[in-house]
Chain A
Amino acid sequence: MKLITAVIKPFKLDEVKSALQAFGVQGMTVSEASGYGRQRGHTEVYRGAEYQVDLVPKVRLEVLCDDEDADDLIGVVVKSAQTGRIGDGKVWCAPVDTVVRVRTGERGPGAL
């Protein structure tokens, strides 16, 4: 099993959520996050006005999936979250040892 974590631009959440649902993902965890990546210290220039940006608001999305679905899911997230501009975010995938459904006590892929 894998845990896929994506940090994306907030306005892309609905699009990514719909794409994941269309793919068949049944559950996800979404949290409001702030951070920066390579654009650290970057100053937005907007119509001649400059604004110093420290931490940029982002959305963090987590999905658990089977090993064989991981690559496809990453593709779905990347495709739906992409604007092509700086600050689009990151997606990463990590192995997961155990998953337990709290209500029933089911373990492993059956708990996904």
Chain B
Amino acid sequence: MGGPCGEPARAGRLASFAADRARRTASADRWLASLLGGEPGVALVAVGGYGRRELVPGSDLDVLLLHTARQGIAALADRIWYPIWDSGTRLDHAVRRPADAREVARRDVRVALGLLHARHVAGDPGLTGELRSGALADWRAAAGTRLAELHALHKERTARSGELAFLLEPDLKEARGGLRDAEAIHAVAAAWVAPGPGPRARAAQEAILDARHALHEVTGRSSDRLVLQEQDEVARVLGLAHADALLSHLAGAGRTIAYALDHSLRAAQRSRPGASPGGRPRGGRGRGGPQRRPLADGVVEQDGEVVLARPADPAADPVLVLRAAAAAAEAGLALAPRTLARLGQCPPLPVPWPSGARDALVTLLGTGQAAIGAWETLDQEGMLCDLIPGWDRVRNRPQRNPLHIFTVDRHLVETAARAAALTRDVARPDLLLIAALLHDIGKGWPGDHRVTGEVVTRQITRRMGLAAEDTELVARAVRHHLLLPHMATRRDLDDPQTAAQVAAAVGGRPLLELLHALAIADGQATGPAAWNDWKAGLVAGLVRRVEAVLGGGPPPVPLPLRPGQAALAEAGQPAAMVTGSEVTVVAPDRPGLLWQAAGVLAAHRLAVRSANATTHGAMAVTSFTVAQPYGEPPDAALVTSDLRRALAGDLDVAELLKRQGLRTPPQRARPPWLAPPKVTLADDASRAATVVEVRAHNAPGLLWRIGRALGDCGLDVRAARVETLGVEAVDVFYVVGADGRPVTDAATRGLIAAQVLSALTGASHPADVRQAGDLRRMP
């Protein structure tokens, strides 16, 4: 079976297994025909796996004796069943009239599924034909209910048996991506709401069926669970080199089936009248055509799926693949099949990657659990190997370790997904997510995976275009990703040497923060045996001690002014300039300047990616880097004019934003994967200002909301440094009270943090508002 990363096709004994199943089926057919003899008004029908000609050594014979209410049917049934029982063959049997069989199928979805593959074996073919066409017609007529039941069965199986692709001892039949799921794809197709399985899914089904066949042959039992002690022998019988090759082969097949079934079930869901995934009403196809909601540059939502915007040109836009995947994950939707086909035309990303590609990757990973599905889509469409060289070496790679429950590649994605919940705890969420995605990449090479991983990570992150110091930090995080758990569990935490050694190895807080978050995410993504409160407590204890050794680092300071900006400030006049994606605002320093300018930009649908605010003499100079999330770029003259009017006090920014807010589609509820925002207060080195650090998910108007909350507390922003890393905003504000001094009172500092937090979460408590009002009257 050829895989998305170009796995070699495997020949060998495949043909002989399929031939053996056909032989077993033909032999069972002949036997049953001889047992029935030439009786009139009856038919023997093979259903389920036997109906599909999938008899393996441990299979049951699923047989239905159809009749037309004739006399003596019980005696006839005994004459057929007893020889089968006596032979030791396992029999699953029923005796029914066609109408009764259909009635039972209407009540029980499992029976209905078995009848979809009803096959005439012996007797009156007209009876079988009547049952078959009737059962299929019933299935199609009640497709809505039946497919919902099918979906529920699939979910229940997944919850009970896990995923075939990622388990070390998978159940080949029941696990997600196993044989039952392969049958479910056929069942959806039988309802005429989605196409049948493609060649890859059919080949994957055969591969799993062969493994089941080999397992039954090796064990002489009918168990479908591929336990560890049988894996080497099953691999040998299948002509594979060893157990790891077998598991990797099955992982590929299981993922293909699971992916294909997801597609089928989504198509089934979309075909139901008035329904679309996510429960939103389908876009009408009235006069205005289908309703489209912009998600990202060149990517829109339509009918509950993510599709490309009309002007998008995949052939000229290498970043589109990542941007579309990130937008899909953020919206919690799937990419439409036709969109995936078009994304296949995207050229490879240039090396080093443009910053948009890095942002899209970090945005995708930052969506947490939603990233796993989007990543799997990229994998199944064969887009990952070009994106991350070396990924194919960890793809489907099993881990012989009782702690691990996932293959290496899935473990990496799971780690990144869990790291997304910890992005508020680190200064560089983007580097955390990239380090999480790559931390075990070294397992694809021989030797200590931390050492090989460091080397491979340097190559990959350079290719991604990370700055040299960022590459270094990520590579060192990969090298030391086991340092904290190892030291915490194997060294004496009370010995000052332990903390001193770790401090020397990490060198500073940025790496310590990354390693702590990475240890948590890695532990959680390994499996329930690998991480618990006990271990988390030990690691946290070590980190506290190392932090005490390292001491606090200074918060980021605003960047110095460029000569052009300084000259503009020295002119002493309020000015606003739009050059490309940079907007510079110069005005006499006064409270509220920063956030009013941010509000004007938000009203023009300009997303602030970064901002740098500082003063030059009596003038405040703020430069913003902005991006247009979608649509036509705004008119620079109009933005400049609005900024000037706002600076002169002739424009009500709140009113402007409100009007703009009414025109935009309502924001959906906060997605569950989003880590809550975090606000911390510190003092700068010179103790001239209080430093308010804000970490939050970026959103339109974020800077305006934070700034207004600070203003409501009577604070003046002296300087600021705002960064957006992927979708994570890392903002630092240097503020002073009305008296021009830093805020020292603990209660007031608590109120400031609460006020900013409530502005970010949108929850505004009357008490907070009242207290904030009190703050304004502070001396």
Q: Beta-carbon contacts of B290-321 to A below 8 Å, as 1s and 0s? A: 00000000000000000000000000000000
Q: Give CA–CA (A11, B490) in the complex, Å.
A: 4
Task: Tell me the smallest distance from the CB of A60 to a CB of chain B, in Å.
Answer: 11
Count A/B pairs, Cβ under 8 Å.
41
CB-based contact A11/B544 at 8 Å: no
CB-based contact B538/A57 at 8 Å: yes
With contacts A32-B534, A32-B535, A34-B537 known, is A46 near B491, CB below 8 A? no
Q: Which residues of A contact B538 (CB under 8 A)?
A: 10, 57
Q: Which residues of A contact B489 (CB under 8 A)?
A: 10-11, 13
Q: Which residues of A contact B492 (CB under 8 A)?
A: 9, 11-12, 83
Of chain A, the residue at the smallest CB distance from B537 is A57
Task: Tell me the smallest distance from the CB of A43 to a CB of chain B, in Å.
Answer: 13
Of chain A, the residue at the smallest CB distance from B535 is A32
**B487-502 contacts to A (CB < 8 Å):** 488-494, 496, 499
Q: Beta-carbon contacts of A1-41 to B below 8 Å, as 1s and 0s? A: 00000000111111000000000000000001110000000
Q: Which residues of B contact A49 (CB under 8 A)?
A: 544, 548
CB-based contact B537/A47 at 8 Å: no
How many of chain B's residues have a CB under 8 angstroms from any CB in A? 19
With contacts A10-B489, A46-B545 known, is A34 near B534, CB below 8 A? yes
CB-based contact A14/B548 at 8 Å: no
Q: Beta-carbon contacts of B513-557 to A below 8 Å, as 1s and 0s? A: 000000000000000000010110110010011001100000000
- Does A110 touch B at the CB level, under 8 Å? no
Q: Which residues of A contact B549 (CB under 8 A)?
A: 47
- Does A85 touch B at the CB level, under 8 Å? yes
Q: Give CA–CA (A9, B493) in the complex, Å.
A: 10
- Which among B493, B535, B548 is the interface contact of A47 at CB below 8 angstroms? B548
With contacts A11-B489, A57-B537 known, is A87 near B548, CB below 8 A? no
CB-based contact B548/A46 at 8 Å: yes
CB-based contact A87/B534 at 8 Å: no
Q: Give CA–CA (A33, B494) in the complex, Å.
A: 18
Q: Which residues of B contact A33 (CB under 8 A)?
A: 534
Task: Tell me the smallest distance from the CB of A11 to a CB of chain B, in Å.
Answer: 5
Q: Which residues of B contact A9 (CB under 8 A)?
A: 492
Q: Give CA–CA (A9, B491) in the complex, Å.
A: 9
Q: Which residues of A contact B534 (CB under 8 A)?
A: 32-34, 57
Q: Which residues of B contact A44 (CB under 8 A)?
A: 494
Q: Give CA–CA (A49, B552) in the complex, Å.
A: 12
**B10-24 contacts to A (CB < 8 Å):** none
Q: Give CA–CA (A87, B532) in the complex, Å.
A: 22
Q: Give CA–CA (A9, B390) in the complex, Å.
A: 41
Task: Tell me the smallest distance from the CB of B505 to a CB of chain A, in Å.
Answer: 17
- Which among B490, B494, B544 is the interface contact of A87 at CB below 8 angstroms? B494
Q: Give CA–CA (A85, B534) in the complex, Å.
A: 21
Q: Beta-carbon contacts of B435-471 to A below 8 Å, as 1s and 0s? A: 0000000000000000000000000000000000000
- Which among A12, A48, A83, A85 is the interface contact of B548 at CB below 8 angstroms? A48
Q: Which residues of A contact B541 (CB under 8 A)?
A: 57
Of chain B, the residue at the smallest CB distance from A32 is B534
Task: Tell me the smallest distance from the CB of A84 to a CB of chain B, in Å.
Answer: 11
CB-based contact B494/A85 at 8 Å: yes
Of chain B, the residue at the smallest CB distance from A10 is B489
Q: Which residues of A contact B493 (CB under 8 A)?
A: 11
Q: Which residues of B contact A10 (CB under 8 A)?
A: 488-490, 538
Of chain B, the residue at the smallest CB distance from A58 is B534
Task: Tell me the smallest distance from the CB of A46 to a CB of chain B, in Å.
Answer: 6
Q: Which residues of A contact B545 (CB under 8 A)?
A: 46-47
CB-based contact B537/A11 at 8 Å: no
Q: Give CA–CA (A63, B182) in the complex, Å.
A: 49
Task: Tell me the smallest distance from the CB of B541 to a CB of chain A, in Å.
Answer: 8
Q: Which residues of A contact B491 (CB under 8 A)?
A: 11
Q: Beta-carbon contacts of A41-84 to B below 8 Å, as 1s and 0s? A: 00010111101000001000000000000000000000000010
Which of A33, A47, A48, A87 is packed against the most chain B CB atoms within 10 Å? Answer: A47
Q: Give CA–CA (A10, B488) in the complex, Å.
A: 9
Task: Tell me the smallest distance from the CB of A87 to a CB of chain B, in Å.
Answer: 7
Q: Which residues of B contact A12 (CB under 8 A)?
A: 492
Q: Give CA–CA (A94, B430) in the complex, Å.
A: 54
CB-based contact B537/A14 at 8 Å: no
Q: Give CA–CA (A65, B341) in the complex, Å.
A: 67
Task: Tell me the smallest distance from the CB of B299 to a CB of chain A, in Å.
Answer: 46
Task: Tell me the smallest distance from the CB of B494 to a CB of chain A, in Å.
Answer: 6
Q: Beta-carbon contacts of B473-517 to A below 8 Å, as 1s and 0s? A: 000000000000000111111101001000000000000000000
Q: Which residues of A contact B496 (CB under 8 A)?
A: 46-47
CB-based contact B494/A14 at 8 Å: no
Q: Which residues of B contact A14 (CB under 8 A)?
A: 490
Q: Give CA–CA (A19, B544) in the complex, Å.
A: 31
Q: Give CA–CA (A57, B545) in the complex, Å.
A: 15
Q: Give CA–CA (A95, B493) in the complex, Å.
A: 34
Q: Give CA–CA (A37, B371) in the complex, Å.
A: 45
**B552-577 contacts to A (CB < 8 Å):** none
Of chain B, the residue at the smallest CB distance from A55 is B537
Q: Give CA–CA (A51, B548) in the complex, Å.
A: 11
Q: Give CA–CA (A44, B499) in the complex, Å.
A: 14
Q: Give CA–CA (A13, B490) in the complex, Å.
A: 8
Of chain A, the residue at the smallest CB distance from B493 is A11
Q: Give CA–CA (A49, B491) in the complex, Å.
A: 20
Which of A11, A13, A14, A49 is packed against the most chain B CB atoms within 10 Å? Answer: A11
Task: Tell me the smallest distance from the CB of A47 to a CB of chain B, in Å.
Answer: 4
Task: Tell me the smallest distance from the CB of A82 to a CB of chain B, in Å.
Answer: 12
Q: Which residues of B contact A51 (CB under 8 A)?
A: 544
CB-based contact B532/A32 at 8 Å: yes
**B664-706 contacts to A (CB < 8 Å):** none
Q: Which residues of B contact A11 (CB under 8 A)?
A: 489-493
Of chain A, the residue at the smallest CB distance from B538 is A57
Task: Tell me the smallest distance from the CB of B570 to a CB of chain A, in Å.
Answer: 47
Task: Tell me the smallest distance from the CB of A14 to a CB of chain B, in Å.
Answer: 7
Q: Give CA–CA (A78, B252) in the complex, Å.
A: 51
Of chain B, the residue at the smallest CB distance from A31 is B534
Task: Tell me the smallest distance from the CB of B460 to a CB of chain A, in Å.
Answer: 34
Q: Give CA–CA (A46, B500) in the complex, Å.
A: 12
Task: Tell me the smallest distance from the CB of A81 to a CB of chain B, in Å.
Answer: 11
Task: Tell me the smallest distance from the CB of A77 to a CB of chain B, in Å.
Answer: 17
Q: Give CA–CA (A65, B532) in the complex, Å.
A: 30
**A80-107 contacts to B (CB < 8 Å):** 83, 85, 87
Of chain B, the residue at the smallest CB distance from A14 is B490
Task: Tell me the smallest distance from the CB of A8 to a CB of chain B, in Å.
Answer: 11
Q: Beta-carbon contacts of B715-746 to A below 8 Å, as 1s and 0s? A: 00000000000000000000000000000000
For the complex of A and B, 10 pairs with smallest distance between CB atoms: A32-B534, A47-B548, A49-B548, A57-B538, A11-B491, A57-B537, A11-B490, A11-B492, A57-B534, A10-B489
26 residue pairs from A and B, CB less than 8 Å apart: A9-B492, A10-B488, A10-B538, A11-B489, A11-B490, A11-B491, A11-B493, A13-B489, A14-B490, A32-B535, A46-B496, A46-B499, A46-B545, A46-B548, A47-B545, A47-B548, A47-B549, A49-B544, A49-B548, A57-B534, A57-B537, A57-B538, A57-B541, A83-B492, A83-B494, A87-B494
Residues of chain B at the chain A interface (Cβ within 8 Å): 488-494, 496, 499, 532, 534-535, 537-538, 541, 544-545, 548-549
Since A34-B534, A44-B494, A83-B494 are in contact, a sample of 14 more A-B pairs with Cβ atoms closer than 8 Å, ordered by chain A residue number, is: A11-B489, A12-B492, A14-B490, A32-B534, A33-B534, A34-B537, A46-B496, A46-B499, A47-B496, A47-B545, A47-B549, A48-B548, A57-B534, A83-B492
